[in-house]
């Protein structure tokens, strides 16, 4: 059987398996081929919050490839999941060769920032009324 173009980049995870830990080095981003991934952030007090649930076609882990910072959340397979992993070299290649890829990443980052801004505004509003 012939290998598909992405098969050599695929990573398979079982339900509840950790893909990466918060604060770990980030050297790959992931595209969800099948399944779901929960992104969980833990604050300094040990409180956890689900940042996102990424489903088929979605991606995560790109921030560490862009800014070289540690992972901002833990990633856990919500169900049996198949991911396509892109390391920094593949990521940079796609940015250079596929301009539409850059806009896809930027669009997702802008959406996430807008959602975070709304959450911050709601939290600030609740604090102001206490």
7-128 in CATH: which number?
Answer: 2.60.120.10
Q: Rounded distance, CA 101 to CA 95, Å? A: 6
The CA distances from residue 5 to 2, 104, 117, in Å, are 9, 21, 38
pTM for the complete prediction?
Answer: 0.85
Between residues 33 and 120, which one has the greater pLDDT? 33
> 3-class SS at 57?
coil
Give residue 4's pLDDT: 57
Give residue 40's pLDDT: 96
Residue 59 has pLDDT above 70, yes or no: yes
- β-partners of residue 42 are 48
Comparing CA positions, the residue from 108, 116, 130 lying closest to residue 41 is 116
Between residues 91 and 130, which one has the greater pLDDT? 91
The domain limits of the chain are 7-128
Give residue 8's pLDDT: 79
Arithmetic mean of pLDDT over the chain = 91
With vertex at residue 27, the alpha carbon angle to CA 24 and CA 32, rounded to the nearest 5 degrees, is: 95
Give residue 5's pLDDT: 62
Tokens representing 100 are 């539409």
Give residue 96's pLDDT: 92
| Residue 68 phi, psi (nearest 5) | 60, 15
Residue 51: count other Cβ atoms within 10 Å of its Cβ: 19
Q: Rounded distance, CA 102 to CA 82, Å? A: 23
């Amino acid at each position: 059987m012939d290998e598909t173009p992405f098969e050599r980049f695929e990573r398979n995870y079982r339900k509840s398996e950790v893909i990466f830990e918060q604060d770990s080095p980030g050297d790959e981003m992931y595209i969800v081929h099948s399944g779901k991934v929960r992104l969980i952030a833990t604050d300094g007090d040990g409180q956890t919050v689900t940042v996102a649930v990424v489903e088929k076609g979605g991606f995560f882990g790109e921030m560490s490839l862009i800014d070289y910072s540690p992972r901002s959340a833990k990633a856990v397979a919500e169900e049996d999941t198949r991911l396509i992993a892109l390391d920094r070299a593949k990521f940079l290649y796609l940015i250079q060769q596929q301009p539409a890829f850059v806009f896809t990443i930027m669009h997702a980052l802008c959406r996430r920032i807008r959602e975070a801004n709304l959450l911050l505004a709601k939290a600030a509003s609740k604090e102001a009324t206490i």
